[in-house]
């Protein structure tokens, strides 16, 4: 009777008792009608049948909400895979291609989910404003949308952290590579500078991607850096034959490189500052619900509602007792009669 | 494996919120119905069951969007499943049937906090059958959850059955009422035991409500164990197989009355007694605070005496100020003239980021310090106003040393303090001496009357003592045959236990008779105090007395019928800490009463027994 399951069960499932009781009640109520037993048997064969019929009639809102929820869940699973990959990298075995693919996929997913949530919010607002739904339903839909937004935001934060970790790992690898191969490494010192022909123009122009913090996710400048790393890895081997010809130009190059480094640092600092501001903003808005206890609102509303009910009842009593009403009307009539008599007579 | 009642209750509730489906370890790939956003509908007692354990933020995590009260008018949310968590009463059942007929929600998962009796289930079924055919299909599940107790902390629970003491000791109470109360207590204890998942060995004193509750619980457990599979086999097969069975010790409030009324000097009992802590919520005139396991300061300092608590608060405040100064210094805020290295951009940003990350933690600490400072300040005001320290010292003297300074006693009775305080002191005085000299007694009574204190409670306790001395000579060896008038036998044992404890000074300060008894029961060695305690073992075959498992036990559940309080909880916690292989004790009662509330209950009983005249302005004892 009780389905065996490995989960901790400390409750008794009485559903079967209930169904049996419903059937017997139906049989007692209408022993001659044939439709009732049929309905009863259909309900007893599978609780899911009725539910499936009900779920197909679920509104568009719920369907979309559950799809978004599923999407967020899958995105966070992919994120955990990415995190594992990013941690695993060593100097010589760098699954860069895999990581880049996965990052691109996740980025696409998150942006798609973001637009979906925005759409859902618009749908929810329009439904609520149309006024045809009950107050509970509007509360329910708003809460669902908020919940989805929170989940998406935490997924995005996790994504950003994974990417930051990946960048730091890359930096560490570059330093190690520098230690191992120092001769050709002068050109390879800064992994964030694109390989340029020597004596070229100010490298600072090209290495600042346009307004990285204006875009939605934090990953664009990091993408570009990763791409340069990939390019750079291919071209470092070809620079060795040219090393001795470029001794003179090296000092000038190093000066330019250090300036470029400084600018890169400025950029990352500004970026981190923007992160701080967003974090502050979310912290301020999140203070709300987390620590409220369930029975707090209940108590207050209970007393308010009861007080209001009492007042209303009193008022109802006062206006429904006929005696006073009659006397008031009588009095008003008398006043009119008096005035009438005075003026006419 | 230590029993954590609160965690187990939380597990059950979470599983209920996930529609009682199997919790897959990695969050579940096949989401389906499990991922739906649901509505939670509860009635008032079940709201108080849920509140200490889950907050609104946690509920949102589990996918609950709205929490509604079943008694309030609700509107339809046509595409969400609803989880009902209610007590099995006819009113609730009717309302559920009405909701199902009206189709307020898409599916109904009905969970009852204890077992729903058969007639109610049939009532629900008939109502659903009479409605349109889709109605019964909407009810997806009906389950009994067995969590009808309020778990205030990890080791403290309350059955929220108010005025149990009055009902049990009322001379005019009908037998049917008492039986109903005993059954309710046994059902509540069954819920606790079922949530813990192990069948305990029950021990209780002879005679009195403890024996009746033990017998009822034993019968219930035996009936339940007959059906296989049952709650306990499933629990045992799931988690760690614990071969240790706990011992369930049942006590009645009359076993040690003095603990119920005395004043204590530790932080938590003070807050409960003076400021009125209910369900872990403290309402001060200015603010409302919550005090539970998540508050680290509360957990660390709840059993320390009050002056030490004040010192701790100051220490924490100093440390907090230091941390804030450090953060300010590193990021250049605060004092002018602190050197600020403007050129080191990266370093500064890093410091700034660290500062921002540590902001939430710092605000939390500040809030906690503020909260406890406010609590301590208001406590201090009350203490000064009522000179509670004098009461504590005097009672301590009387109970531990057995001496009384007549002058201090009388001056306290005439001096500051509310009427309840004076009554409590007088009752403690009565209870600490077997035969107080009558001149002193008269003086005490005169002083009480001077302060216009209602004498009902005092007279009631006096009468209990008188009964005791009458039967002390007659009670010889304990008999196990039919106990006609259990009241007198019970009082005889209780008072003798208390006085024996007073005379038996232990080296590490005074131990409550309750703690001593529990320790003896857990040790399992032959001990004259507990040898004649009854033993019920639901797992043993009913016939024959072979194989009685008397201990030693590593875990115990102590239950007080009639009103427990934090002082007993504190001494049980001390027992747990000092015991040498580590033991674990869970404490529970029908309700958690403060001293003032218990005095009110005593006074009410005195009035019912027709003792004491004078002004009778006793507000009904409120309990949690």
pLDDT tens per residue across span B69-127: 888 888 888 788 889 999 988 999 899 888 888 888 888 888 888 888 888 888 888 88
* B608: pLDDT strictly greater than 50: yes
Decide if B249 contacts B518 (C-beta within 8 A). yes
pLDDT at A329: 92
pLDDT at B612: 55
What's the CA dihedral at A101, A104, A105, A109 to 10 degrees? 170
Whether residue B54 lies within 8 A of chain A, CB to CB, comes out as yes
Q: How far apart are CA B104 and CA B68, in angstroms?
A: 13
pLDDT at B409: 81
| Cβ-Cβ contacts under 8 Å, B145 against chain A | 10-11
Beta bridge partners of B294: none
| Cβ-Cβ contacts under 8 Å, A136 against chain B | 39, 66, 68, 74-77
- CATH entry, B5-20+34-146, from 3.40.50.300, 3.40.50.460, 2.102.10.10, 3.40.50.2060: 3.40.50.2060
Q: Which token pair is A204?
A: 């600072």
pLDDT at B487: 52
List the single residue in B with minimal CA-CA distance to A278. B356
| Cβ-Cβ contacts under 8 Å, A26 against chain B | 129
**Choice among A220-234, B7-21, B202-216, B610-624 with the minimum mean pLDDT:** A220-234
Query: Average pLDDT for residues B481-495, to the nearest whole number?
Result: 49
| Complex ipTM | 0.70
Q: What is the mean pLDDT of chain B?
A: 78
Who contacts A206 (Cβ-Cβ below 8 Å, separation ≥6)? A194, A196
Q: If you ran DSSP here, which 8-state letter would residue A212 be given? A: G
- CATH entry, B280-331+353-386, from 3.40.50, 3.40.91, 3.90.830, 1.20.1420: 3.90.830
User: Which CATH superfamily, name and number, covers B153-256+499-609?
Assistant: Sec1/Munc18 (SM) protein, domain 2 (3.40.50.1910)
Task: Give the gap in angstroms from C-alpha A196 to the nearest C-alpha of chain B.
Answer: 27
Q: How far apart are CA B601 and CA B109, in angstroms?
A: 40
| Cβ-Cβ contacts under 8 Å, A69 against chain B | 31, 35
| A50 with B115: Cβ contact below 8 A | no
Who contacts A192 (Cβ-Cβ below 8 Å, separation ≥6)? A207, A225, A228, A260, A261, A264
Mutate to test the interface with A, among B57, B280, B349, B354 (most CBs of A within 10 A): B349
| Cβ-Cβ contacts under 8 Å, A9 against chain B | 231, 234-235, 238
pLDDT at A18: 83
Query: Average pLDDT for residues B507-516, to the nearest whole number?
Result: 66
Who contacts B54 (Cβ-Cβ below 8 Å, separation ≥6)? A294, B10, B13
List the single residue in B with minimal CA-CA distance to A299. B44
| B8 with A2: Cβ contact below 8 A | no
Residue B409 burial (C-beta neighbours within 10 Å; 0-12, 13-18, 19+) = buried
pLDDT at B513: 81
Predicted confidence band at B478 (pLDDT cuts at 50, 70, 90)? very low
Q: How far apart are CA B441 and CA B427, in angstroms?
A: 11
* B312: pLDDT strictly greater than 80: yes
Q: Which position has the higher pLDDT, A256 or B542?
A: A256
**Which of A18, A51, A136 is closest, CB to CB, to B121?**
A18
Task: Give the gap in angstroms from C-alpha A100 to the nearest C-alpha of chain B.
Answer: 26
| Cβ-Cβ contacts under 8 Å, A296 against chain B | 288
Predicted confidence band at B616 (pLDDT cuts at 50, 70, 90)? very low
pLDDT at B497: 53
* B390: pLDDT strictly greater than 70: yes
Q: Do domains B5-20+34-146 and B153-256+499-609 have the same CATH topology?
A: yes
pLDDT at B408: 81
Who contacts A288 (Cβ-Cβ below 8 Å, separation ≥6)? none
- Please state, in angstroms and as integers, the Cα–Cα distance from residue A85 to each residue in A89, A161, A175, B117, B597, following that order: 7, 14, 20, 56, 62
| A12 with B144: Cβ contact below 8 A | yes
So where are chain B's domains? 5-20+34-146, 153-256+499-609, 280-331+353-386, 387-453
Predicted confidence band at B282 (pLDDT cuts at 50, 70, 90)? confident
pLDDT at B345: 63
Task: Give the gap in angstroms from C-alpha B205 to the nearest C-alpha of chain A.
Answer: 30
pLDDT at A8: 41
What are the 10-residue block averages of pLDDT along chain A, 345 residues in total? 38 79 79 44 44 52 86 89 79 72 86 88 84 78 87 85 81 80 52 44 38 39 41 43 61 80 77 75 63 62 79 83 84 95 88
| Cβ-Cβ contacts under 8 Å, B68 against chain A | 136
- Please state, in angstroms and as integers, the Cα–Cα distance from residue B528 to each residue in B201, B475, B505, B525, B557, following that order: 20, 16, 17, 10, 22
């Amino acid at each position: 009777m009780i389905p065996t399951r490995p989960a901790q069960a400390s409750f008794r499932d009485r559903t079967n008792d209930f169904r049996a009781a419903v059937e017997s009640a139906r049989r007692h109520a209408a022993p001659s009608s044939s439709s009732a037993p049929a309905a009863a048997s259909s309900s007893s064969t599978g609780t899911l049948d009725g539910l499936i019929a009900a779920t197909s009639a679920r509104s568009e809102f719920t369907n979309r909400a559950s799809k978004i929820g599923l999407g967020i869940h899958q995105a966070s699973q992919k994120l955990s895979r990415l995190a594992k990959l990013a941690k695993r990298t060593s100097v010589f075995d760098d699954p860069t291609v895999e990581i880049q693919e996965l990052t691109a996929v996740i980025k696409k997913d998150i942006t798609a989910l973001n637009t979906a949530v925005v759409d859902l919010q618009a749908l929810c607002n329009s439904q609520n404003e149309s006024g045809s739904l009950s107050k509970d339903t509007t509360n329910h839909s708003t809460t669902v949308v908020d919940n989805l937004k929170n989940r998406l935001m935490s997924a995005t934060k996790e994504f950003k952290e994974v990417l930051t970790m990946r960048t730091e790992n890359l930096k560490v690898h570059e330093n190690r590579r520098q230690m191992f191969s120092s001769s050709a490494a002068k050109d390879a010192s800064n992994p964030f500078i694109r390989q340029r022909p020597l004596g070229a123009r100010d490298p600072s122009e090209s290495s600042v991607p346009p307004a990285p913090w204006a875009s939605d996710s934090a990953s664009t400048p990091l993408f570009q850096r990763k791409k340069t790393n990939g390019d750079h890895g291919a071209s470092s081997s070809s620079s060795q034959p040219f090393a001795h010809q470029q001794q003179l130009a090296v000092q000038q190059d190093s000066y330019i490189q250090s300036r470029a480094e400084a600018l890169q640092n400025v950029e990352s600092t500004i970026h981190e500052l923007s992160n701080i501001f967003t974090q502050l903003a979310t912290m301020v808005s999140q203070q709300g619900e987390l620590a409220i206890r369930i029975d707090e609102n209940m108590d207050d509303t209970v007393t308010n509602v009861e007080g209001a009910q009492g007042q209303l009842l009193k008022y109802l009593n006062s206006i429904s007792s006929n005696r006073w009403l009659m006397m008031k009307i009588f009095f008003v009539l008398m006043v009119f009669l008096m005035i009438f008599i005075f003026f006419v007579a | 494996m230590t029993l954590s009642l609160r965690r187990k209750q939380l597990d059950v509730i979470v599983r209920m919120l996930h529609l009682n489906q199997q919790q897959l370890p990695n969050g579940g790939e096949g989401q389906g119905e499990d991922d739906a956003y649901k509505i939670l509908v509860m009635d008032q007692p079940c709201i108080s069951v849920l509140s200490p354990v889950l907050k609104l933020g946690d509920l949102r995590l589990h996918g609950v969007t709205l929490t509604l009260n079943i008694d309030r008018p609700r509107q339809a949310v046509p595409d969400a499943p609803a989880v009902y968590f209610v007590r099995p009463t006819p009113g609730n059942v009717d309302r559920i049937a009405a909701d199902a007929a009206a189709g307020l929600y898409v599916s109904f998962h009905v969970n009852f906090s204890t077992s729903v009796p058969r007639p109610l289930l049939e009532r629900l079924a008939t109502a659903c059958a009479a409605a349109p055919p889709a109605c019964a299909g909407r009810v997806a599940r009906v389950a009994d959850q067995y969590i009808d107790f309020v778990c205030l902390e990890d080791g403290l629970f309350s059955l929220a059955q108010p005025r149990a003491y009055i009902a049990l000791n009322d001379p005019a109470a009908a037998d049917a009422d008492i039986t109903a109360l005993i059954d309710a207590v046994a059902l509540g204890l069954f819920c606790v035991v079922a949530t813990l998942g192990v069948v305990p060995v029950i021990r209780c004193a002879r005679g009195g409500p403890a024996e009746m509750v033990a017998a009822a619980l034993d019968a219930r457990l035996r009936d339940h164990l007959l059906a296989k599979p049952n709650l306990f086999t499933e629990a045992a097969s799931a988690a760690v197989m614990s071969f240790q069975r706990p011992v369930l010790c049942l006590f009645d409030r009359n076993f040690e009355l003095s603990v119920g009324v005395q004043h204590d000097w530790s932080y938590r009992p003070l807050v409960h007694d003076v400021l009125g802590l209910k369900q872990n919520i403290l309402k001060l005139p200015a603010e409302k605070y919550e005090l539970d396991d998540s508050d680290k300061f509360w957990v660390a300092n709840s059993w320390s005496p009050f002056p030490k608590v004040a010192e701790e608060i100051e220490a924490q405040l100093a440390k907090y100020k230091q941390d804030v100064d450090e953060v300010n210094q590193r990021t250049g805020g605060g004092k002018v003239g602190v050197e600020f290295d403007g050129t080191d951009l990266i370093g500064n940003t890093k410091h700034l980021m660290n500062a921002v990350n540590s902001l939430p933690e710092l605000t939390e600490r500040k809030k906690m310090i503020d909260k406890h400072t406010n609590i301590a300040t208001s406590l201090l005001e009350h203490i000064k106003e009522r000179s509670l320290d004098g009461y504590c010292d005097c009672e301590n003297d009387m109970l531990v040393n057995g001496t009384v300074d007549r002058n201090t006693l009388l001056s306290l009775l005439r001096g500051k303090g509310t009427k309840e305080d004076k009554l409590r002191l007088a009752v403690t005085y009565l209870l600490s001496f077997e035969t107080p000299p009558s001149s002193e007694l008269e003086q005490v009574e005169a002083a009480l009357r001077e302060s216009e204190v209602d004498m009902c409670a005092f007279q009631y306790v006096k009468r209990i003592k008188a009964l005791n001395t009458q039967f002390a000579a007659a009670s010889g060896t304990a008999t196990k045959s039919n106990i006609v008038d259990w009241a007198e036998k019970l009082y005889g044992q209780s008072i003798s236990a208390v006085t024996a404890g007073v005379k038996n000074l232990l080296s590490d300060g005074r131990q409550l008779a309750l703690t001593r008894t529990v320790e003896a029961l857990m040790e399992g060695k032959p001990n004259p105090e507990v040898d004649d305690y009854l033993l019920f073992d639901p797992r043993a075959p009913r016939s024959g007395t072979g194989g009685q498992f008397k201990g030693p036990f590593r875990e115990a559940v102590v239950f007080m019928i009639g009103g427990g309080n934090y002082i007993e909880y504190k001494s049980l916690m001390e027992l747990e800490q000092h015991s040498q292989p580590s033991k674990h004790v869970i404490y529970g009662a029908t309700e958690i009463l403060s001293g003032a509330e218990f005095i009110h209950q005593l006074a009410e009983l005195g009035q019912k027994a027709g003792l004491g005249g004078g002004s009778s302005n006793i507000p009904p004892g409120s309990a949690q």
